[in-house]
Amino acid sequence: MSYELDPLPYEYDALEPHLSEQVLTWHHDTHHQGYVNGWNSAEETLSENREAGDFSSSAGALRNVTHNGSGHVLHDLFWQNMSPEGGDEPSGALADRIEADFGSYDAWRGEFEAAASAAGGWALLVYDSFSNQLRNVVVDKHDQGALWGSHPILALDVWEHSYYHDYGPARGEFVENFFAVVDWEEPAARYEAAVELFE
C-alpha cells in the first residue's frame, strides 16, 4: 500500500489572515508531503527486509513508520478541523461532553491552550475509550505522549513550521487565532464515530 497526500480541503489563502497562504503552501506541500514520503519509504524498507530475511535496518524503519505515519494522520486531521467558516464554539453532543468532562468550554479551552504551550509537536483533544472520557494530551514530535486507546478529535500543530513565518516566537497568538478557524463540524463527527464504537 502506498500513501498519498490529499489536497487541502480549501484554497491555500482561505484561512488568511489567521494562517497565511505561504505557510499553508510550505506546511502542506513540503512538510506534510515529507511525512507521506517518509512513511512510504519506511514501509518499502520493511517489505524488502522481510523478503531478504535481513532485519538489520528494520528497527529504524519501524520507528519511521510511527513517526511519519503519525505525522501524516495528524496533519490530515489538522487540515480537516479548520475552514474559512470556522470560529464558533462546538454544539450538540460534543459540546455537552466537553461540559461534562471539563466543567465548561472555557475550562476545556484553557487546558487545551496549556497543552499547546507545552507541546513539542501537537496539542490534541482525544476521546479516551479506556476511561470513556474526553482528554487533552500533549504530544511531542508526532508519536510521543499519545495515549493508547484514544481517538483524536481535534488536532493543533504547534511545530514552529506551522506558525513561525506568520507569528515569529508568539506561539500563544497563533494558538489564539487557531480558534478563529476551527470548524467544529469535523471534530463533532469524529467524536460521534468514536463514541459509537466504544460506548
110 Cβ contact partners less than 8 Å away, ≥ 6 residues apart: none
pLDDT per position as a tens digit, 85-96: 999 999 999 999
Residue 199 has pLDDT above 80, yes or no: no
Is residue 70 within 8 Å of residue 137, measured between CB atoms? no
**Which letter does DSSP use for residue 133 in this model?**
E
How far apart CA 157 and CA 71 sit, in angstroms, is: 10
Q: How many residues are given for the chain?
A: 199
The answer, yes or no, to whether the previous bond of 17 is cis (omega within 30 of 0) is yes
Look at residue 94 in the predicted model and tell me its pLDDT. 98
Give me 47's grid cell: 517489505
pLDDT per position as a tens digit, 27-68: 999 999 999 999 999 999 999 999 999 999 999 999 999 999
pTM score: 0.94
How far apart CA 71 and CA 82 sit, in angstroms, is: 17
